[in-house]
Amino acid sequence: MWLRPDAITVWRHPEVRERLAWYRAVMLDEKPAKFRICKHVGVDEEPEAVRAMSESELWGLHDKLSREFKQVKARIEDGSLSLEELEKPRTSLLSLKVELAKRMLRACRFCVRRCGVNRAEGEKGFCGLGQEARVSTFFHHFGEEAPLLGGAGHPVGGSGTIFFTSCNLRCCFCQNYDISFYPENGVVVDARKLAAIEAELRREGAANINFVGGEPTPNLHVILGSMEYLELNVPMLWNSNMLCSEETMKLLVDVIDIWLPDFKFGNNECAERLTSGGIDYVGTVLKNHKVALENGDMIIRHLVMPSHIECCTKRVLDMIANELDKDRVLVNIMGQYRPMHYVARWPEKWPDIARRPSSQEMHETFEYARQLGIVFEPIS
Ligand code: SF4
């Protein structure tokens, strides 16, 4: 706690308590995490019968159970139902999700790149990952946003952060490039081992399990699989660039308690120039933010880049205010950008971002966010 006293004081803000109410309740073990509810929603079919279904049949069943899940979760949230009153079905919604992720791996479409490669047979797509997930490191992270560290009655145990290797976006200024650009770094983890890591982090006081990278999306099958083995209660946090495919979002919305998405670029031209490109960045990320917000608590991260206040920062803030629900999200406006990776090596190629943002640019950003009514001050 002495490291981050704001982990205690942040919960005094009514907006933080209201907007992160579900996450806080799970963190404090007052409510079960969504992945645990998923284990109690399902069908009394034998797992073998479900595995024999076609993928479209599986999606049909998944979507039906996902609707059922939302009703059950709403009753658990309002206190009219408890997890203990529910039986465990022979085939749960969670196990269906794991099966669907395995099927998707055979023609990978975990993210919008939709490479279509058979990763189950070792083929590799844009992210460079085959069947195996690799973890670069994991630890109790005390540098994350204050509500993610604990507090509100929970020990300030930090965010139980698990860093997966590789990334499907690859920004030229990547602040984490040793993890993002080298898929073969780290150690291989399967679902059971990942669950053991998650359990260890929670037992040692982590406020949540924070899936990050690199990027967690290419590791979806192992992440969902780990939840089948995990018996502890802990909020699940998705810390992502949000290039998830539509199918991936459908698998995630019933298991993620709190979203920590990046919203970096305000237009596709800047995204194309500053990343590996080839995608509709704004369309994808905005759509996925909308889906995520309908299905959980959310802190959006925006990294302010120098010279990109008008084209990126203000446009992102406009989209948050006008196209998402600014009365439900919290925003972390981050001023720690510095030229890294390719930009540090070849600053002449990206002169616009070859410096830190100025105090004038940060001031202008904060003023603009205030005018829009965005809540960022308790978090940033
Ligand atoms: S996760 Fe994305 S980048 Fe990686 S193989 Fe699948 S679709 Fe391609």
Q: Is residue 341 part of a domain?
A: yes
Q: Which helix (H) or strand (E) holds 333?
A: strand 330-334
* Centroid of ligand 1 to alpha carbon of 289 (angstroms): 20
Structural Rg of the chain based on CA atoms: 20
- For every residue of 158-175, DSSP letters joined together read -EEEEEES--SS--TT-T
Spatial CA neighbour of 138 closest among 200, 223, 231, 222: 200
Q: Is residue 145 part of a domain?
A: yes
Confidence bin at 112 (pLDDT 50/70/90): very high
Atom of ligand 1 minimally distant from the CA of 166: 4
Q: Is 117 in the pocket of ligand 1 (CB under 6 A)?
A: yes
Starting at the earlier edge strand, list the strands of the sheet with 330-334. 187-189, 133-141, 159-164, 209-212, 236-238, 258-259, 297-303, 330-334
Q: Is 112 in the pocket of ligand 1 (CB under 6 A)?
A: no
| % of the chain exceeding 70 in pLDDT | 99
Spatial CA neighbour of 167 closest among 238, 111, 247: 111
Please list the residues that pair with 302 across neighbouring strands: 333
Confidence bin at 15 (pLDDT 50/70/90): very high
Angle at 126 between CA 258 and CA 268, to 5 degrees: 65
Atom of ligand 1 minimally distant from the CA of 220: 1
Find the domain containing 361 and state its range: 6-23+119-372
Q: Is 108 in the pocket of ligand 1 (CB under 6 A)?
A: yes
Q: Is 218 in the pocket of ligand 1 (CB under 6 A)?
A: yes
Q: Is 125 in the pocket of ligand 1 (CB under 6 A)?
A: yes
Q: Is residue 343 part of a domain?
A: yes
Spatial CA neighbour of 183 closest among 217, 224, 138, 214: 214
| % of the chain exceeding 90 in pLDDT | 95
Q: Is residue 43 part of a domain?
A: no
First to last CA, the chain: 18
CB atoms within 10 A of CB 59: 17
Q: Is 109 in the pocket of ligand 1 (CB under 6 A)?
A: yes
Give the tens place of pLDDT for each residue, 82-106.
999 999 999 999 999 999 999 999 9
* Centroid of ligand 1 to alpha carbon of 124 (angstroms): 8
Q: Ligand 1: which of 113, 114, 164, 275 to mutate, judged by most atoms within 8 Å of the beta carbon? A: 113
Report phi then psi at 227, rounded to 5.
-70, -25
Tokens of 347: 């600053």
Give the tens place of pLDDT for each residue, 41-62.
999 989 899 999 999 999 999 9
Instruction: Kindly tell me if the per-residue pLDDT of 12 is higher than 80.
Output: yes
Q: Is residue 111 part of a domain?
A: no
For residues 45, 46, 48 and 49, what is the CA-based torsion angle, rounded to 10 degrees?
-30
Give the model's pLDDT for residue 3.
77
Q: Is 106 in the pocket of ligand 1 (CB under 6 A)?
A: no
Please list the residues that pair with 244 across neighbouring strands: 111
By the 8 A CB rule, do 102 and 120 touch? yes
* Centroid of ligand 1 to alpha carbon of 224 (angstroms): 16
* Centroid of ligand 1 to alpha carbon of 172 (angstroms): 19
* Centroid of ligand 1 to alpha carbon of 285 (angstroms): 16
Atom of ligand 1 minimally distant from the CA of 108: 6
Q: Is residue 42 part of a domain?
A: no
Give the tens place of pLDDT for each residue, 248-302.
999 999 999 999 999 999 999 999 999 999 999 999 999 999 999 999 999 999 9
Q: Please report the beta strands in 52-114, taking only residues with DSSP state E, as ranges in sequence order.
A: 91-92
* Distance of alpha carbon 277 from alpha carbon 198, whole angstroms: 33
DSSP one-letter code for 140: E
* Distance of alpha carbon 147 from alpha carbon 375, whole angstroms: 14
Q: Is 168 in the pocket of ligand 1 (CB under 6 A)?
A: yes
CB atoms within 10 A of CB 347: 13
CATH number at residue 282: 3.20.20.70
By the 8 A CB rule, do 223 and 212 touch? no
* Distance of alpha carbon 374 from alpha carbon 155, whole angstroms: 29
Residue nearest ligand 1's atom 4 by CA: 127
Give the model's pLDDT for residue 176.
86
* Distance of alpha carbon 380 from alpha carbon 373, whole angstroms: 15
Whole-number average pLDDT of the chain: 96
Instruction: Kindly tell me if the per-residue pLDDT of 110 is higher than 80.
Output: yes
Report phi then psi at 330, rounded to 5.
-110, 150
* Centroid of ligand 1 to alpha carbon of 375 (angstroms): 34
Q: Is residue 201 part of a domain?
A: yes
Confidence bin at 2 (pLDDT 50/70/90): low
Q: Is residue 181 part of a domain?
A: yes
Q: What is the 3-state secondary structure (H, E, C) of 277-326?
A: CCCCHHHHHHHHHHHHHHCCEEEEEEECCCCCHHHHHHHHHHHHHHCCCC
* Distance of alpha carbon 167 from alpha carbon 125, whole angstroms: 11
Residue nearest ligand 1's atom 1 by CA: 218
DSSP reduced 3-state for 244:
strand
Q: How many domains does the chain have?
A: 1
Dmax (CA) for the chain in angstroms is 63
Q: Where are the alpha helices (DSSP H) in 111-156?
A: none
Atom of ligand 1 minimally distant from the CA of 218: 1
Give the tens place of pLDDT for each residue, 159-210.
999 999 999 999 999 988 889 998 988 999 999 999 999 999 999 999 999 9
* Centroid of ligand 1 to alpha carbon of 131 (angstroms): 11
Write the CB contacts of 38 (distance below 8 Å, at least 6 apart in sequence). Answer: 69, 92, 93, 94, 97, 227, 254, 255
Give the model's pLDDT for residue 209.
98
**Model confidence, pTM:** 0.97
* Distance of alpha carbon 303 from alpha carbon 312, whole angstroms: 10
